[in-house]
Amino acid sequence: ELSTKRVILDLNVRLDQRIKDYLEIISNVSDKLSLKSFLVGGCVRDLLLNIQSNDMDIVVEGDAIKLAQEVNKYINGEFFSYEKFRTATIKNEEIKFDFASARTEFYSCPAAKPLIEYSDLHNDMYRRDFSINTLAISLNKDSYGKMIDFFGGYEDIKIKRIRVLHPLSYVEDPTRIIRAIRFEFQLGFKIDKADEELIKNAMELKLFNVISFDVLKEELKLMFSHGSCPALIIMRMKELNVFKLIHPKISFNFSLDKLKGYFSCLKSEGFGNNLKEWWFLCILPIIYNILKSEDRFFKRKWKFTKKEILYVEKLKKFLFKFSRKRSQNIFKDFDLFETLEGIPSEIICFLKILEEKPLNDYVLWFEKNKNVFKPLTTGEELSNRSDVKPVFIGEILKNLKKEKFFGNISTYEDELKFINKFISEKS
């Protein structure tokens, strides 16, 4: 049984005074306009979990834009409204409020409407993904702080269970599968056993053809953005058989250890979830096997950015060269060495976990030796020399590296001799 009193206490204890002040404004204005308004969704869930949120969703039984306009007279924040969706946003440096009119489009039988108290709210909550996101807290004075729980969300939050509201939910919107996995990691919850079955069954259908890649991409970005171990997230995706959402032909065979190796390499190189392409680096082990054959698909459907396309191109170019040269002495091939040198270090982290031989030996050898071939002479040193024309600096450095690569020179003195010879030949 939900205790209204307890939730009122929660509201007062858990919210910052500033946020309470804002909610009081919304409460007063709702009463003045005779509109029912509720705090809903993720922020109520977070409130109950003691996670501070300053991104709050308000559902209004009535005109949300009108309520928001009136509320903003007291807040004076930035104001945006979207007539088409009957929503409005108020934002300032402390808080963001999204106001939405309760949607009733799934209301199949209007005659039944008076039977449920808060029927508009009920319908709005029924459209949502998981029970844990369907809690509402009334903001009107006479019921301020009263929690409304149509689908057992309070209990699910208590036992940390992720559960959809009806069996076809995942089929209706497969991006919810990714959201479910995100909430497992973000909140430390667990997808209900029955839902795991629903997900697996949904994955048997050809959802791939109905999915919106734009939304899916945003959900993948969110899932990998909040700092949980991506290797564990990927293994969970594998367990639930959801790679098919990304592409039906994916074949994945990395172990958890390999993935962990990849992500700890990225971390040690300074790459993390603040990187714009982080989501790409996270799905790279998943899509690697079909990158070559489905290249155009990813560019078009997944709208890879310029940098993501560059990652793919460089990786493909190197793998292509490698496959052509593998029968020769790869450790003596300067062109191959330079191609790998031109690959961003984040992609090299990935190459390191590939188990294909002799590629794996080659990448490890490269990692060990790449600095050995670096000239001791710097570009700055060369540009300070009056006898070196600036146009030759790049060429000299490259040649020095090449000579070192082949073992023709090794010490700083060798380098000086080489440079002097180079200059005298050019002049």
What is the binding site for ligand ATP (CB under 6 A)?
Answer: 41-42, 128-129, 133, 173, 175-176
Q: Facing residues of 57 across strands?
A: 40, 98
Buried b (16+ CB within 10 A) or exposed e, 234-271: bbbbbebebbbbbbeebebebeeeebbbbbebbeeeeb
Task: Quote the least distance from Cβ 41 to ligand ATP, whole Å.
Answer: 3
Of the pair 161, 404, the CB lying nearest ligand ATP is at 161
Task: Quote the least distance from Cβ 404 to ligand ATP, whole Å.
Answer: 52
Of the pair 162, 353, the CB lying nearest ligand ATP is at 162
Of the pair 176, 247, the CB lying nearest ligand ATP is at 176
Query: H or E stretch including 213?
Result: helix 213-223
Of the pair 66, 128, the CB lying nearest ligand ATP is at 128
Q: Distance between alpha carbon 74 and the CA centroid of its chain, in Å?
A: 36
Task: Quote the least distance from Cβ 276 to ligand ATP, whole Å.
Answer: 19
Of the pair 186, 289, the CB lying nearest ligand ATP is at 186
Of the pair 185, 288, the CB lying nearest ligand ATP is at 185
Task: Quote the least distance from Cβ 419 to ligand ATP, whole Å.
Answer: 58
Name the residue with the smallest CB distance to ligand ATP: 42
Contacts of 276 (CB under 8 A, 6+ apart): 305, 307
φ/ψ of residue 305, rounded to 5:
-75, 175
CA gap 208, 221 in Å, rounded = 18
Evaluate whether 95 touches 78 at the Cβ level (below 8 Å).
Answer: no
Evaluate whether 87 touches 98 at the Cβ level (below 8 Å).
Answer: yes
Task: Quote the least distance from Cβ 180 to ligand ATP, whole Å.
Answer: 10
Task: Quote the least distance from Cβ 71 to ligand ATP, whole Å.
Answer: 20
Evaluate whether 169 touches 158 at the Cβ level (below 8 Å).
Answer: no
Of the pair 172, 239, the CB lying nearest ligand ATP is at 172
Task: Quote the least distance from Cβ 241 to ligand ATP, whole Å.
Answer: 19
Evaluate whether 237 touches 243 at the Cβ level (below 8 Å).
Answer: yes
Tokens linked to 193 = 């056993």
User: Roughly how many angstroms between the first and final C-alpha of the chain, as a whole number?
Assistant: 92
